[in-house]
Structure 1
Amino acid sequence: MSPVLRIATEEWRWLRRDRVAVLGLALVLLLTAVSIFHAAEQREALAAERARRQGQVDKAFEASPDRHPHRMVHYGHFVFRPLNPLAAFDSGVDAQTGHTLFLEGHRQNSANFSEARQSTLLLRFGQLTPAFVLQVLAPLVLVFAGHAMLAREREAGTLRQLLAQGVRPAQIVQGKLLALAGLAVVPLLPAWLALAWMALATPASALLACVLAAGYTLWLALWVLGTVCVSAWLKQARSALVALLAVWAVGVMLLPRLAAEWAAAERPLPTRVETDIAIARELAALGDSHDAKDPYYATFRARTLAQYGVSRVEDLPLNYKGLVAMEGERLTSELFVKYAAAGFAQQEAQLQAVDRFAPLAPVLALRRLSMAAAGTDLAAYRSFLEQGERHRYQLVQALNRLQAEKLTLATDRSSRDDRIGAAHWHDLAQFQFEPAPARQALHAAAPAAAVLLLWLAALAGALALATRRIAQVMR
């Protein structure tokens, strides 16, 4: 047996006698397994519920009686955000963002009914997901299990004995790394199996599942290297434990929170009320379609009459009220898109401000990579809202077009002839969400992966220096 493997075997034997290490490892393994089953079951239940609700509102829309098309515009419709299959691994921002959009004319609504607002305080504190266990709890177990690996040998005097027997310092360090890496595989193994199952049994991208697996493997590799490195540099196991716990508390718990608070204070977002007031002011400046003397719509009327070569709106081949409704919706929708894009640009600026702390707290980079691969980041949420807005605009304009083409100006809202058949509502409100391609998620995850790799290289260099220092001190 090679010295490296022998040292690792002896370390595993020692850890089996350490009740704290065994209990911590068993607990994190149990939490990983429970979180996987719980998150998968919750995701399936939520996906089934949203699909059922979507089917109900689609049938309700199509079952509407004969109506005026513009009444259908205000009657509105609901669309529900489908869940990404990998959201069972990392829920990301899904629990805090809404999943239901109400689509209606002349207004762009925000997504409502987030899980955090409708659930208990426990969910608002944090969901038990595989991502949470691996990001927060697994490193803590590695710290308790590995903080004394080299410091203990130095305190007991066995390190000098190993060197005197001809074992090289690099072999000692490699054996300790192998032992701690074996412990890190314990919580990683069920996560790997869960991701493999998601890739095979669901429409999830196998490539993105592999990215998630690689990201969390790299994350725990950082803690394996860092724990052994600190244990190699410090002379006492107690000092190594305190130092590693301080790093965990600051880097995993404190800095991410401070980074988010600082970004929110540095680049505050306008409230919904402020945005609505700004939009209302611009809408008033655009023009009032109900005022025949409004300058903009007077120009629009003249342009429309010239386009069709007539002198009166009554002589138009289309219902003029429907044309006005289409023009008004076009103007307001452009305004909605502009403000929505500005809001998302501010949120992206906040994320970039948080990313500046990633070199100090690599867990921020891991979260970026994890949410991007799982399809639960801000970009995925934005995609849903933008696709929902495009669908809303197409739906409203289709109804306005029905008003322009199926009704005349004389009968529009002046008699019982202002209704059209219910058959026109069929297949009009169907919403098909298109998830982002895998390459987009990979592009978003690449900077985060680079930060993790740089940390890995830095820790490897520090451990190499510590290994050389062991040889020099023991001479």
Structure 2
Amino acid sequence: MKLLHAEFLIAKQLRHSVFKNKAIFIITLFIGILLLYAAFSGWDNYKNQNETSEKYQHESREDWLKNPDKNPHRMAHYGNFAFRKSTSLSVFEFGMEPFFGNAIFLEAHKQNTANFSEAGFSSSMLRFGEISIAMVLQVLLPLLIFFLGFNSISYERENGTLKILLTQGINWKQLLFGKILGVASVIMLLFVPTILILVTIWLFLQNFSVTADDMIKMVLFILFHFIYLIFFCAIAVLVSAVSKTSKNALVLLIGIWLIFTIVLPRTTQAVGAYIYESPSKIQFNSDIEKDILKEGDSHNPNDPHYKAIKDSLLRTYKVDSVQKLPFNYSGYIMTEGEKISSKIYNEHLKELLKIYSKQNSFSKAVSFLNPYIAMKNLSMGLSNTDYESYIDFQKQAEDYRYKMAQKMNGLQIKYISNKKMPGKPSIIGKEHWSDLEEFHYETKGIGTVLKNEIVSVISIILWIMLLLILIKIAAKKLKAI
């Protein structure tokens, strides 16, 4: 108990001395205001995006159902839209959401990418990032921690009080943990209210009805951000302890902050993209088109591949023309064409995603050198605003698109006659359009998130273990002078 009492006294003394500095008080107040702004901005962004998505998803569905009687193949080309709604945690972590589209146009024989991203309608300033709660917690609070802790021990050494403290029965272990606790207590004055606001908003957005999956995500979001901030508190105090002067400690800590939050993240992205170069969008689409043409053109009646299918059907049903087949031949061919083109697209997409996965794995590997990257990746994963969430949305939309196209082809096979009757169009009743269910995007569960971000979790744990080891070593090796 005496040990803990000494550490609490050291922490209390540091906390009181911090707020005697008006500059620190102003900076802390400014960051507090930024956190409030970030909460409001996230709330407003979430509300606007989801209201817009819901509105246009509903309109798209209504437009689909209001189509008159027509040929099912025309309906397949008429298409539909898939919209991605934001999750409640995206209020606090925007992640890659502003740069990825949230709507995909779905049509037969063609796979489209997501469009209508916020970045597409914004200025180049968006590249510098938006002010979110996660950004303040991950970037600005560590900088504030460094300003709070850079002279926590070095100043004691400079004015001679460090030697007095150590001769009065305080050991280095108590001093280090006491100073870390002191810096952390100041940061908690910002962190705890932020978390209370965060949880309140989060509960309100979900009408105070949350699933176990969402609850685990929220708890992990708070826990890992807490650990992350304590980590920087320890870094600040350790650097101050090994520095001869406060000036040297401040310069070193600012250098660490720049490397962690600016230099390494930008560098790893560029290096990963350079090592694992991906094809351009034009090249990607061109390669798909070439492979589809090799398999055959379903719209060309004389294409060798589809001519062979026709001949096989005629032999099987023992008829001499497609008009005598017991089902709609055109719909059957369109079904085959959709199956082939989708398979080819998915094969190319799989190869492209392998390249992107290598790029991302390079960045994730660097998290062992940079806790900021680990925390950022984990935070985006928990809020479903990461790259994997975007790809998951693309895949769900593609599955729905394929289902839509084949549903319409199936209706054509079943209800449209091969024989064209003069004055009688080849159409079916509009009541069939409701046979296709509305698109709903399902977010990744906590198990999938942790599996995707296991490297980030391990990295953060290893960093904490390393710091504890360094504190233990420092407690034995540090000198008062």
TM-score, with structure 1 as normaliser: 0.95
Match of 1:418 in 2: 426
What displacement does 1:198 show?
Answer: 5.4
Give 1:5-404 correspondences, 5 Å limit. Answer: 5-197=8-200, 200-201=203-204, 202=206, 203=210, 205-404=214-413
| Offset, 1:72 | 1.2
**C-alpha distance in 2, partners of 1:417/1:284?**
31
CA distance in 1, matches of 2:316, 2:356: 43
Counterpart amino acid of residue 176 in structure 2: V
CA RMSD of aligned residues (A): 1.8
- For the residues of structure 2 that align with 1:345 and 1:161, how far apart are their CA atoms? 60
CA distance in 2, matches of 1:400, 1:127: 45
Secondary structure of 1:356's aligned partner: helix
Q: Percent identity?
A: 29
By how many angstroms is 1:309 displaced?
Answer: 4.9
1:432 equivalent in structure 2 = 440
Distance 1:443 1:53 in 2: 33
For 1:144 and 1:262, locate their aligned partners in 2 and report how far apart those are by CA, in whole Å. Answer: 31
Equivalent AA in structure 1 for residue 377 of structure 2: R
Q: Where does structure 1 lack aligned partners over 5 or more consecutive residues? A: none
Matched, 1:444 2:452: yes
Residue 468 of structure 1 deviates from its aligned partner by: 2.0
TM-score (norm 2): 0.94
8 A contact 2:24–2:148 mirrored in 1: yes
Cα distance, 1:306 vs structure 2? 4.4
SS in 1 for 2:393: helix
Bigger Cα displacement from structure 2, 34-43 vs 283-292: 283-292
**Contact 1:7–1:172 (CA under 8 A) maintained in structure 2:** yes
The runs of 5 or more residues in structure 2 that have no matched partner are none
Q: Which amino acid aligns with 1:267?
A: Y
Q: Is the 8 A contact 1:32 1:190 kept in 2?
A: no
Q: What CA distance in whole angstroms lies between the structure 2 residues aligned with 1:299 and 1:84?
A: 49
C-alpha distance in structure 2 between counterparts of 1:395 and 1:8, whole Å = 63
Cα shift readout 1:314-333 (whole Å, capped 9, x = no counterpart)? 22110111111111111111
Assess if the C-alpha contact under 8 Å between 1:142 and 1:184 holds in 2: yes
Query: Is the 8 Å Cα contact of residues 58 and 429 (structure 1) preserved in structure 2?
Result: no
Deviations 1:363-407 (A, max 9, x none): 111111111111111111111111100110111111111111111
Once the two structures are superposed, residues 327-361 of structure 1 have per-residue CA deviations (whole angstroms, 9 ceiling, x without a partner) of 11111111111122222221111001112221222
SS in 2 for 1:290: coil
- Hey, what's the Cα distance between the residues in 2 that align with 1:113 and 1:292? 37
Opposite residue 417 of structure 1, the aligned amino acid is P
Q: Judge conservation of contact 1:147–1:231 (CA < 8 Å) in 2.
A: yes
SS in 2 for 1:149: coil
Residue 446 of structure 1, CA deviation? 2.5
Contact 2:173–2:471 (CA under 8 A) maintained in structure 1: no
